[in-house]
Structure 1
Amino acid sequence: MPRNLWSGLCLSSLLAVLSTVSGCISSQGILPKALRLNDAELLTDKPIDKAVRKMEWPRDRWWQAYGDPQLNAWVEMALADSPNLAVAAARLRQARTLAGVSESEHAPQVKYDAMVQRKHWPDDQYFYGPGMLADTTGWNATSSLGLSYDLDLWGRLHSHTERALSLAEVAATEERAAALELQNNVVAAYIQLALHHARLEIAEAELKQREQLLALARERLAIGLGTQLEISEAEAPLPEAHRRIDLIHEAIALTRNQLAALAGKGPGEGARLERPKLSLHGEPSLPSNLPLELLGRRPDVVARRWQVAAEARSIEVAKADFYPNVNLVAFFGSGSTTGEMLNFLTNANKLTYGIGPTLSLPVFDGGRRRGQLGAATAAYDMAVEQYNQTLVDALKSVSDHLIRLHSLHEQEIFVGHGLETAERRYRLAEEAYRRGLTDYRSVLEAQSELFEQQFLEQRVHAEHLTAQAGLWVALGGGVLTDDSGPAARQLDAHEISLHLPGRH
């Protein structure tokens, strides 16, 4: 081909591409509106500011701080056998597989097609006309080895793959969030089991003391110091005391079933649980650089960050659809109309081939591409606002648990004083009754107050254990490191437009 002719063709092709680009459908005016909260400028309250700071985050196995080997074994068993965690793991595998499918689109696509059929040609003077194929039967066969390669000039495939990878990260962090929630649920149920056992111990002690008071009333009646009224008053609380014990046994059994279900086990496994032996010491503390470091520690916050990154890539994919798509296509094959069945494979004269670029240009689509871009930007705005809300909720959760822990610490002091007073009053009332200085009602009132204070002490202690677990969970529970999230630039809306040329 003459050099001038080849140069003319190249110039004409370039002008054609430029003219088509300038005439493509416009995406003008469709931009994201949501803005991320400035993490470093989020205000914190006094409980967070006054908390003891240290450079240490919750450990991976934060529940071991309770010092109960049975709890440690039960949480590990739940993490290994929980059906909910298995569902989250399967969702993660699905997301990673889909990311692999998206990555495969970057590679050249090669496929082979072949067709062999026995065909009879009719003798039709109007359609076929007279010819050598009229009223004949023979083999029709074709084969083709095709290759196509998307040049991805505008980054559509790259953005699509990045979106799939971000969604895989969303699934990964959601799996960690599910594990953290499971850990918290097991610990909370286990603490409730400990509280039920403490209640049972108090209720049994209450029943024993009431039975002792009944025996004492009968002794006083036998020696002429008591009355039948005292015996009746001593007998009256016993049926209710037995009923309370039965209710506590029911609560223990139900809590064991709950723990078994959380661990993916049958009720028989939970029935083997013994009385918990929990202990926890130390004041609540927070790591440094809160809330900034919280962004990379809590699985739900990290998941929302990856979701924002994924939706940002969706916008890039939608924008790329506004531009011409150029593919490189090649094929090599053969075909035959008559002859032997495999004649197309053995006859060199039947071979054919071709190679060249293909161009597809959106000229008019009734608003479909603008609608897709609008939906993508709306999804991005929703993801940003969900991220903002998740971050706000995360800080609220940390503050709530610190406030709760401080309050429970104060309550434990007050309850301790109240328990000492109730024990002293009960001892005095019992001694006065033995000496005949007071009636039986004073003993019952003092005894009831004592047991109420004992139960209140156990309940406040259980709430303290639960609140401390809640604080560890609010801080991420040690399941992530501070570099688990996407780069900050992936979340900025104004950078989305920088990936593609043309109008915005």
Structure 2
Amino acid sequence: MSLVDLFFLRRGLCLSGVFALSVTIAGCISSEGLRPKADAKAAQALVFDDAVKAARKDAAWPRQDWWQAFGDPQLNAWLAKAMADSPSLAQAEARIRGAMAVAGLTAGDESPKLGVDASIKRHKWAKDDFYGPGTLYGANTWDNSVGLGFSYVLDFWGREKNRSEAALNRAQVSVAEGQAVQLALAGQLVRAYIRFSLLYAEYDVKTALLAQQQHILALVQKRYDGGLGTELDVTQAQAPIPAMEREMEDLDEQLQLSRNQIAVLAGQSPAAGASLQRPSLNLSQAPAIPDVVPLALVGHRPDVVASRWQVASYARDIDAARADFYPNINLAASVVLSAVSGNMLDVLSRDKFTYSAGPVLSLPILDGDTRRDTLAAYSADYDGAVAHYRQTLLGALEGISNQLIRLRSLDKQQSLAAKAVALAQQSYDLTLKAYEGGLSDYLDVLSTEQNLFTQKLVVEQLVAARLAAHAGLQVALGGGLLADKDSPSLTQMQPEQEAEHGH
């Protein structure tokens, strides 16, 4: 064996010994006893089961453009404007871009670094006793250097990798939150549009009521002129008309305000709302309501997906913090050409060439419990994120259940309200005929008239309530915005140690 071989063997053994010693020394700072208490798998059990495939068929999973089920082209057009021009969506998009940029910066720490440093300096030496007499006395020289530097983090323990994944997971949180903003905006605009439609329906009922009251006034006046009625009857017939006209004016105002609201929600100026025509909402093509919505579908809601990515990000933070307890080894190398006190081009001489290369070792021995505190903080954050995830799931289940209960109740209420209108109409017709024949007084007519139009208003309100409940169910189910691939897996949601031990 040559001397050169012996030299390199000795150097390799020394490096190996240093590495082994550093791992041993790293045991002085231990992560023992530090782990999250929450179990993401337990929370996950609320969501995923074996009924996913059947659920997609039975639960009529929402389309991304779920509002088209209302069959109103004008609504579709205004939703398209909102998706394109809403300032809320623009803000969410900006947050996503920012989060992705941060993720890119963090991921850059994993990559090799290569850079060039160069300097050219003209040096004028002083004329004093310190420098002279001699070669530098009053001389003009050049201090030049050119260097190429390289560094690479070996990342044996996955610290940089987990930091990058944590940052990317937080970017995914921003994406899901952006989808939540889009879903909320669509829900708000659809609900505003349904109310706009209800105002038109109420206007129709009030208009019919006013026309009917004017017809009754003409009838009462005719009876009074024929000597069959009293002045009191005429006064009683006139009394409701001003109040009805005021209600009509109030509905006009609400229609204008509703136009403004829809326009602003769509990212347009209030003036654009003037082009809104009467809605033509129709739920005849709506999907059937399932008896049971399997819990797996809740996992598609943007707020649930965002909370899952939040859990996943803290899981990676924990893995990165654990890796920080071990030695950190980087590779570093540099090649330099340097010339001092020479001519301008002396730096290019091969005699000025130097280099350095080798590993850079960082050993955590004593750090004032910084690493333990960091791991403890991330573990606490992870526990909080899992608890928030579970609470989000429970809130989602409650929202879906509430909308399903409301839809079924409204179906029954609509049937009963239709019967009530039919009976009220029959009672009003009989009372009016009796009054015309002199067998009933005006107060009976007024009472049955008010009951009839009250029931008609109830019918219109129930129609609008059912439309709103259907929209609420689509929003509660996530609006079809996200799929399974947009959500992290259970393994991604657990720190590495917990996943390996099946926690």
TM-score, with normalisation over the residues of structure 2?
Answer: 0.90
Map of 1:389 onto structure 2: 391
Asked if 1 retains the 8 angstrom alpha-carbon contact of 2:319 and 2:496, the reply is no
- Find 2:92's aligned residue among 84, 88, 111: 88
The CA deviation at 1:100 is: 2.8
Structure 1 residues 309 and 52: CA distance shift in structure 2, 3 A:
closer
Match of 1:105 in 2: 109
Show the counterpart of 1:401.
403
Matched length: 490
Could you list the per-position Cα deviations for residues 167-186 of structure 1 after superposition, in whole angstroms to 9, with x for gaps in the alignment?
Answer: 22222222222222122111
Deviates more, 1:150-159 or 1:1-10: 1-10
Change (3 A) 1:238 1:373: same
Return the letter of the residue paired with 1:68: D
Q: Does the aligned pair in 2 maintain the 1:316–1:497 contact within 8 Å? A: no
Whether contact under 8 Å (1:112, 1:146) holds in the other structure is yes
Look up the SS of the partner of 1:338 in the other structure: strand
Q: Secondary structure at the match of 2:277?
A: coil
- State the distance in 2 between where 1:360 and 1:68 align: 66
SS at match of 2:275: coil
Instruction: Summarize the Cα distance change of 1:377–1:122 in structure 2 as closer, same or farther, 3 Å threshold.
Output: farther
Deviation at 1:430, TM superposition (A): 1.5
Distance 2:127 2:363 in 1: 44
Tell which deviates more after alignment, 331-340 or 77-86.
331-340
Partner of 1:38: 42
1:5 and 1:332 map into 2 onto residues whose CA distance is 23
**Structure 2 letter corresponding to 1:286:** P
Q: What code does the residue aligned with 1:117 have?
A: K
Ranges in structure 2 where 5+ consecutive residues have no aligned partner: 49-54
User: CA 1:4 to 1:493, structure 2 compared with 1: closer, same or farther past 3 Å?
Assistant: same
Residues 343-492 of structure 1 aligned to structure 2 (within 5 Å): 343-492=345-494
Distance 2:351 2:311 in 1: 57
1:40–1:382: structure 2 CA closer, same or farther, 3 Å change rule?
Answer: closer
Instruction: Out of 56-65 and 114-123, give the one that drifted further.
Output: 114-123
Deviates more, 1:432-441 or 1:264-273: 432-441
Q: Which whole-Å deviations, capped at 9, do the CAs of 1:238-267 have from their partners, x for residues lacking one?
A: 221111111111111111111111110011
Which residue type is aligned with residue 92 of structure 1?
A: I
Among residues 268, 273, 280, which one is paired with 2:271 in the alignment? 268
Deviation of the 1:193 alpha carbon? 0.5
Residue type of the partner of 2:391?
A: Q
What pairs with 1:7-406 in structure 2 (closer than 5 Å)?
7-24=9-26, 25-36=29-40, 38=42, 42=46, 54=58, 56-120=60-124, 133=136, 137-281=140-284, 284-286=288-290, 290-295=294-299, 297-340=300-343, 342-406=344-408
The one-letter code sitting in structure 2 at the alignment partner of 1:337 is V
Contact 2:43/2:390 (<8 A) preserved: no
The AA in structure 1 aligned to 2:198 is L
CA-to-aligned-CA distance 1:127-172 (integer Å, 9 cap, x gap): x999755665533222211111111111112112212222222222
CA, structure 1 residues 157+230, in 2 after alignment: closer, same or farther (shift >3 Å)?
same
Provide closer, same or farther for how the CA distance between residues 43 and 443 of structure 1 changes in structure 2, counting only shifts above 3 A: farther
Q: Which residue is 1:502 aligned to?
A: none
Q: Distance in 2 between matches of 1:445 and 1:166?
A: 65
What CA distance in whole angstroms lies between the structure 2 residues aligned with 1:136 and 1:325? 48
**Which amino acid is the alignment partner of residue 32 of structure 1?**
P
1:308-331 Cα offsets, whole Å, 9 max, x none, are 111111111112222221111111
- How many angstroms apart in 2 are the aligned matches of 1:446 and 1:265? 45
CA distance in 2, matches of 1:6, 1:52: 65
**Residue type of the alignment partner of 1:11:** L
Distance 1:287 1:234 in 2: 50
Question: How far, CA to CA, are the matches of 1:163 and 1:287 in structure 2?
Answer: 39
Q: Is the 8 A contact 1:109 1:149 kept in 2?
A: yes
Change (3 A) 1:325 1:132: farther
TM-aligned CA deviation for residue 366 of structure 1: 2.0
Q: 2:389 corresponds to which letter in structure 1?
A: Y
The answer on whether the counterparts of 1:301 and 1:390 sit within 8 Å (CA) in structure 2 is: yes
Q: Which runs of 5+ in 1 are unaligned?
A: 45-50, 500-504
Q: Deviation at 1:195?
A: 0.5
User: What CA distance in whole angstroms lies between the structure 1 residues aligned with 2:45 and 2:4?
Assistant: 67
Q: Summarize the Cα distance change of 1:286–1:170 in structure 2 as closer, same or farther, 3 Å threshold.
A: farther
One-letter amino acid of the structure 2 residue matched with residue 200 of structure 1: Y
SS in 2 for 1:191: helix
Residues 380 and 131 of structure 1: is their aligned pair in 2 closer, same or farther, counting only changes over 3 Å?
farther
**Distance change (3 Å), C-alpha of 1:478 and 1:240:** same
Letter of the aligned partner of 1:20 in structure 2?
A: S
Distance 1:373 1:106 in 2: 21
- Give me the whole-angstrom Cα distance separating, in 2, the residues matched to 1:300 and 1:405: 23
Q: 1:33 to 1:39 in 2, by over 3 A?
A: closer
- Pick closer, same or farther for the CA change 1:52–1:377 going to 2, 3 Å: closer
Distance 1:152 1:43 in 2: 36
Normalised by the size of structure 1, how large is the TM-score? 0.90
Could you say what the CA RMSD is over the residues aligned between the two structures, in angstroms?
A: 2.7
- 8 Å Cα contact 1:334-1:344 kept in structure 2: no
Amino acid at match of 1:393: G
Residue 283 of structure 1: how far off its partner (Å): 7.1
SS in structure 1 opposite 2:267?
coil
